[in-house]
Amino acid sequence: MGLSPDDLTASHRRIIERADILIGGRRLLGFLPDSPAEKKVIGKDIEAVLAFIRRRLGRKTMAVLASGDPLFFGIGAKLIEAFGPDRVAIHPNVSSVAAAFARIKEPWDGVRVLSLHGRKNESELFRALAEEDRVAVLTDPERNPAWLARRVMEKLGGGFRLAVMESLGTASERHGWYALAAAAAKEFREPNIALLKREVGVRSGRRPLSLGTPDDEFDHHGGLITKSEVRAVALSKLRLSPGQILWDLGAGSGSVAIEASLLIGKGKIVAFEKDPRRVAQIKANISRFNVRNLRVVQAELPAGLARLPKPDRIFIGGGGKHLPAIISEAARRLQPDGVVVINAVLLQNVHDAQAALRRLGFATEIVQVQIHRCRPMPWSERLEALNPVWLITGVRKEDRRTGR
């Protein structure tokens, strides 16, 4: 329905006119008092509405009225899940977010959008505010703009301005910008949407990410991190491209996976780590660098790999005595022409890694990376050696005869 009947196209109106049954909230059904169709109100019990539809499938033509766009925090996804995509046709319209940004005349590409409507996801809200300069919030009567302003002042001490678009699509529609303190004391008309915009000069918690990010920019413990120079070589050996799926097994602080996000675009990364303390560090680094395509899995390898999408690339930064078993299980899931890169500091693991890859039919390469870093002395500098690291690369070549 968009914001109101004024947003309905001729095509929308024909669908409504031909429907035997109209289903929607009281406000939306109230826009169509002259329709002869049977009307069913959507209340809090959505399962009862789904049961109502299910009993009439195949016998009646039903039109479900949704405000905004049905697939933008709307009922569309629930209907598709319940009845399957072949039995549901979606006819989108103007979402409240698109309309709100049109009112304040700001572009909204790249804006984080959250819904607090019937959802208790306050932690997600504050993670977004730590990372983003603009966050749009769909509100409800309880978690309204005044509540939102109070919570931001309580948790963050301010730092944002608030735009509120009230009664969108009605004759009493209005919008305005408010200081948080003023918004906290004000009543806003329903329905509404709020935009939190960071004030000029107030920095977010994000840090810039680049290849070769200094080690001390990452949350890690006791120097247990793949050093920046080694990361650079490892990433080059992985031969990453946009759109690929990367597994980081034994991810530690997640530094390799996080820098890899710069190279795979809209691809996906899954970081596996068994130590809960390091899992927390990976999540902290994800938030710190605003990485969007990295998922963390806490698991004891090689368990936990089977249910995930097959990777194009695999980086193994840990494994100990279980390294051969981890390589075998991971390689079994690897896509044709995939690449495995293993980081080893123990001679036994270098031998075991190469032997395991060769048994599996991989072409292998071993590179030793020896880094020396400059350290100041009283009247000059000296070079201090870091522990040598071996990178074992395995490249799978597809057998054109078998396709494997």
pLDDT at 120 over 80: no
Average pLDDT over residues 255-265: 94
In the structure encoding, which two tokens stand for residue 261, read together?
């996000």
What is the Cα 323 distance to its own chain's centre? Answer: 30
Read off the amino acid at residue 217: E
Share of the chain above pLDDT 70, in %: 96
Look at 250 and 118; give whichever has higher pLDDT: 250
In the structure encoding, which two tokens stand for residue 292, read together?
């969007």
Closest CA to 224 of 182, 163, 265, 277: 277
Confidence grade of residue 295 (pLDDT, cut at 50, 70, 90)? very high
Three-class DSSP category at 162:
strand
Average pLDDT over residues 287-300: 87
Average pLDDT over residues 325-345: 94
pLDDT at 399 over 50: no
Instruction: Give φ, ψ of 155 to 5 degrees.
Output: -90, -35
8 Å CB contact between 58 and 48:
no
Query: Residue 38: CA atoms inside 13 Å, Cβ hemisphere, count?
Result: 9
Average pLDDT over residues 38-51: 92
Count other C-beta atoms under 10 Å from residue 194's C-beta: 26
Q: What is the tens place of the pLDDT at every residue in 300-331?
A: 888 778 778 899 999 999 778 889 999 999 99
Domains of the chain, CATH where assigned: 5-87 (3.40.1010.10), 96-198 (3.30.950.10), 215-395 (3.40.50.150)
In the structure encoding, which two tokens stand for residue 381, read together?
């500098």
Confidence grade of residue 401 (pLDDT, cut at 50, 70, 90)? very low
- The DSSP 8-state label assigned to residue 2 in this structure reads B
Average pLDDT over residues 239-255: 94
Look at 316 and 210; give whichever has higher pLDDT: 316
Read off the amino acid at residue 319: G
Share of the chain above pLDDT 90, in %: 63
Q: Enumerate helices (H) and strands (E) in the chain, giving the number of each.
A: 13, 17
Read off the amino acid at residue 169: G
Confidence grade of residue 404 (pLDDT, cut at 50, 70, 90)? very low
pLDDT, averaged across the chain: 89
8 Å CB contact between 57 and 9:
no
* pLDDT at residue 118, rounded to an integer: 76
pLDDT at 84 over 90: yes
**pTM of this prediction exceeds 0.85:** no
Average pLDDT over residues 120-138: 85
* pLDDT at residue 327, rounded to an integer: 94
pLDDT at 354 over 90: yes
Q: Annotate 282-311 with three-state secondary structure.
A: HHHHHHHHCCCCEEEEECCCCCCCCCCCCC
8 Å CB contact between 388 and 368:
yes
